[in-house]
Structure 1
Amino acid sequence: MTIPTSATWLEDAWQQGVSKTIRNAKRIKDTFPHISVQGVYDKNDPEWWTAGFWPGLLWLVYRAAPESEAAPSLRRINDSCERQLEGCLRDPDSVDHDLGFIWLLSGVVSYRQTGSEDGRRRGLLAANLLAARFHVRGQFIRAWNFSSSMMDTRGVAIMDSMMNLPLLYWASEQSGDPRFRWLAEAHADTVAREFVRADGSVCHVVEFDPHTGQKLREHGGQGHAPGSAWARGTAWALYGFALSFRYTGEARYLGTAERTADFFLAMLGEDIVPLWDFRAPAEHQVAWDSSAAAITASGLLELAKLSPRGHIYAAAGERIVRGLYEHYSSGELAAEEGLIMQGTVHYPEGRGINVPIIYGDYFYMEALAKLRGSEGLF
Structure 2
Amino acid sequence: MRYGIDEETRRWAEDVWEKLEKKLEAECARLGSMMPYVPVNGRYEDMGKKELTAWTNGFYSGMQWQMYHATGNECYKNAAVGIEERLDGAFEEYTRLDHDLGFLWLHTAVADYRLTGNEKSRTRGLHAAGILAGRYNPNGRFIKAWNGPREGIAIVDCLMNLPLLYWASEELHDSAYRQIAVNHTEMALNYICRADGSCNHMVEFDAVTGEYKGNPGGQGYESGSSWSRGQSWAIYGLSLGYRYTKNQAYLDAAKRTAHYFCANLALSDYIPLIDFRAPAQPVYYDTTAGVCGACGLLELSEHVGPLEKELYVKSAVRCLKAAADRFCRWEPETDSILSHGSARYDRESDRQVPIIYGDYFLTEGILRLLDRDFLIW
Q: Could you state the TM-score of these two structures normalised by the residue count of structure 2?
A: 0.94
Gaps of 5+ in 1: none
Percent of matched pairs sharing the same residue: 38
Q: Does the residue aligned with 1:127 lie in a helix, a strand or coil?
A: helix
Counterparts of 1:146-225 in structure 2, within 5 Å, are 147=148, 152-225=149-222
Per the TM alignment, residue 335 of structure 1 is displaced from its structure 2 partner at its CA by 5.6
Distance, in Å, in 2 between the alignment partners of 1:376 and 1:76 is 20
Residues 200 and 224, structure 2, Cα contact 8 Å, conserved in 1: yes
Q: Does the residue aligned with 2:226 lie in a helix, a strand or coil?
A: coil
Report what 1:352 is aligned to: 350
Per the TM alignment, residue 257 of structure 1 is displaced from its structure 2 partner at its CA by 0.5
Residues 366 and 376, structure 1, Cα contact 8 Å, conserved in 2: no
Counterparts of 1:336-347 in structure 2, within 5 Å, are 336-347=334-345
User: Which AA in structure 1 matches 2:38?
Assistant: I
Counterparts of 1:76-155 in structure 2, within 5 Å, are 76-145=78-147, 147=148, 152-155=149-152
Report what 1:328 is aligned to: 327
Per the TM alignment, residue 347 of structure 1 is displaced from its structure 2 partner at its CA by 2.3
Distance, in Å, in 2 between the alignment partners of 1:139 and 1:32 is 33
Residues 34 and 358, structure 1, Cα contact 8 Å, conserved in 2: yes
Q: Does the residue aligned with 2:107 lie in a helix, a strand or coil?
A: coil
Residues 26 and 332, structure 2, Cα contact 8 Å, conserved in 1: no
Residues 369 and 376, structure 1, Cα contact 8 Å, conserved in 2: no
Q: Does the residue aligned with 1:157 lie in a helix, a strand or coil?
A: strand
* 1:300 correspondence with 2:277: no
Report what 1:14 is aligned to: 17
User: Which AA in structure 2 matches 1:93?
Assistant: T
User: Which AA in structure 1 matches 2:346?
Assistant: P
Distance, in Å, in 2 between the alignment partners of 1:287 and 1:38 is 21
Report what 2:311 is aligned to: 312
Q: Deviations over 1:300-340 (max 9, x none)?
A: 00000012321210111112112222222113x34642111
Gaps of 5+ in 2: none
Per the TM alignment, residue 91 of structure 1 is displaced from its structure 2 partner at its CA by 2.4
User: Which AA in structure 1 matches 2:376?
Assistant: L
How many residue pairs get aligned? The number is: 367
Distance, in Å, in 1 between the alignment partners of 2:274 and 2:313 is 23
Q: Deviations over 1:17-70 (max 9, x none)?
A: 12111211222221211112222223213210001100000111110011xxxx
Q: Does the residue aligned with 1:347 lie in a helix, a strand or coil?
A: coil
User: Which AA in structure 1 matches 2:341?
Assistant: G
Per the TM alignment, residue 286 of structure 1 is displaced from its structure 2 partner at its CA by 2.6
Report what 2:26 is aligned to: 23
Distance, in Å, in 2 between the alignment partners of 1:197 and 1:351 is 30
Residues 124 and 171, structure 1, Cα contact 8 Å, conserved in 2: yes
Per the TM alignment, residue 99 of structure 1 is displaced from its structure 2 partner at its CA by 0.3
Q: Deviations over 1:201-243 (max 9, x none)?
A: 1111111111111111111110010000000000000100000
Per the TM alignment, residue 112 of structure 1 is displaced from its structure 2 partner at its CA by 0.7
Per the TM alignment, residue 357 of structure 1 is displaced from its structure 2 partner at its CA by 0.8
- Worse-superposed segment, 267-276 or 37-46: 37-46
Of Structure 1 and Structure 2, the greater helix share is in 2
Residues 344 and 351, structure 1, Cα contact 8 Å, conserved in 2: no
Residues 101 and 164, structure 1, Cα contact 8 Å, conserved in 2: yes
Q: Does the residue aligned with 1:89 lie in a helix, a strand or coil?
A: helix
Per the TM alignment, residue 259 of structure 1 is displaced from its structure 2 partner at its CA by 0.6
Among candidates 237, 241, 244, match of residue 238 of structure 2: 241
Distance, in Å, in 1 between the alignment partners of 2:39 and 2:216 is 28
Distance, in Å, in 2 between the alignment partners of 1:307 and 1:35 is 36
Q: Deviations over 1:121-164 (max 9, x none)?
A: 1001100110000001000001111x4xxxx4111111100000
Among candidates 30, 50, 54, match of residue 56 of structure 2: 50
Distance, in Å, in 2 between the alignment partners of 1:336 and 1:192 is 42
Report what 2:375 is aligned to: 376
Say what the alpha-carbon RMSD is for the aligned residues: 1.4
Report what 2:270 is aligned to: 272
User: Which AA in structure 2 matches 1:23?
Assistant: A
Residues 153 and 203, structure 2, Cα contact 8 Å, conserved in 1: yes
Per the TM alignment, residue 364 of structure 1 is displaced from its structure 2 partner at its CA by 0.6
Q: Deviations over 1:72-115 (max 9, x none)?
A: 22222222211111221232222211000111111111011111
Residues 301 and 309, structure 2, Cα contact 8 Å, conserved in 1: yes
Going from structure 1 to structure 2, the CA distance change for 1:335 and 1:79 (only over 3 Å counts) comes to closer
User: Which AA in structure 2 matches 1:280?
Assistant: A
Distance, in Å, in 2 between the alignment partners of 1:234 and 1:153 is 23
